[in-house]
Structure 1
Amino acid sequence: MNFDLSRQWFAERGALISVWASENGFSRDLVYSVLLGRVKGKSGEAFEIRKKLLELAEAQAASAKNSPHEQAECNVRHQKDLLSSAHEQGPARSKNNRGKPIA
C-alpha cells in the first residue's frame, strides 16, 4: 500500500508525524513502519493506524479535487474497501506443514 497522499497531508500542513502519533495515542515507530510499508496494518494498533492514515489520504485527495490526484482518490477508496472487507473476514489463519490450522 502506498501512503504518498498521507505523507503529502503531513507535508502541506507542516505537521510532524511523531506529534500526530502521540495525539492519536499511537506508537511513533509503528506509525512510521506503517507509512513505510514495513508493517501491513492488518490487525491491532497497526490496523487502526492504517485506517487513520487512509482517512488523511482521503482528505488530501478531496482537497486536491480536479487535479492530477483524482486517480489517487479512487485508489484510496479502493484501499478502504479492501481494508473493510479484510477486517470483516478476520485475520488469516496460518497452517502447519500438514495443512492443519495453527492455534
Structure 2
Amino acid sequence: MELTAENLTRAFKALGHPTRLAILEWLKEPTSFPPQDQPAEQVGVCLKHIQARAGVSQSTASQLMATLQQAGLVTCTRVGQWSHYRRDEAGIAAVAEAVQLRV
C-alpha cells in the first residue's frame, strides 16, 4: 500500500500526540487490558478500556481513536453498542515503509 503525502501527513499528526502514541503501544498487547466479553485478539479492545487507561473522558477517547482510524493506524469493529479497536499492522507498516523511502 502506497501512502499519499496527505495520508502520510495525517499519520504523522496522529503519531504526534503523546496519548495517541501511547494507545498504539498499548494495543500491541491487547491482553494487557481487562477481560472482555469478546476476545481482544479477535475484535480489538473496547473503547471503555482504552478510555480508562488513558484517563480521559469518553468523548476525548472517541476523538483520539477517530484520529488514529482516519490515519489508517487502527481499525474499529462494532460489537453491539461498543466500539473495539486494534492496530492496523498493514497501515503501520505502510507508514514505516514510506518513511524509509522518503528519508
Taking structure 2 as the reference length, the TM-score comes to 0.29
**Structure number with higher strand proportion:** 2
Q: Which has the higher contact order (CA 8 A, sep 6+)?
A: 2
Q: Which has the larger Rg?
A: 1
Taking structure 1 as the reference length, the TM-score comes to 0.29
